[in-house]
Amino acid sequence: MKKNYIALFLSQRKVICFFFNAFKCAAEITWCPKQEIFPGPCGGNPGQQCLLDFLGKYGAAGMPKNCQCQNSGPNQRLCKCDVVCQN
């Protein structure tokens, strides 16, 4: 029975440390502006389209936010998003 309490205590400690480190890391994130040109016009929900474009190109680790779309030339769009800076 004592072993069960020890195992439970250690597992809870690991969970608490995991969340503490996650919050610590989140506070250290720095954002950088990034822009890319993609094919096609901005469309009906331009910020959402650029968010999807950036996720497709950089993956979820880039965590794009504050995305804006601007039509740029014939059949292409300029997307600007803030992404996690690559150090």
Return the pLDDT at 15.
44
| 71 has a pLDDT exceeding 60 | yes
pLDDT digits (tens, 9 = 90+) for 20-54: 445 555 568 999 999 999 999 998 898 999 999 99
DSSP H helices, 28-63, are 46-58
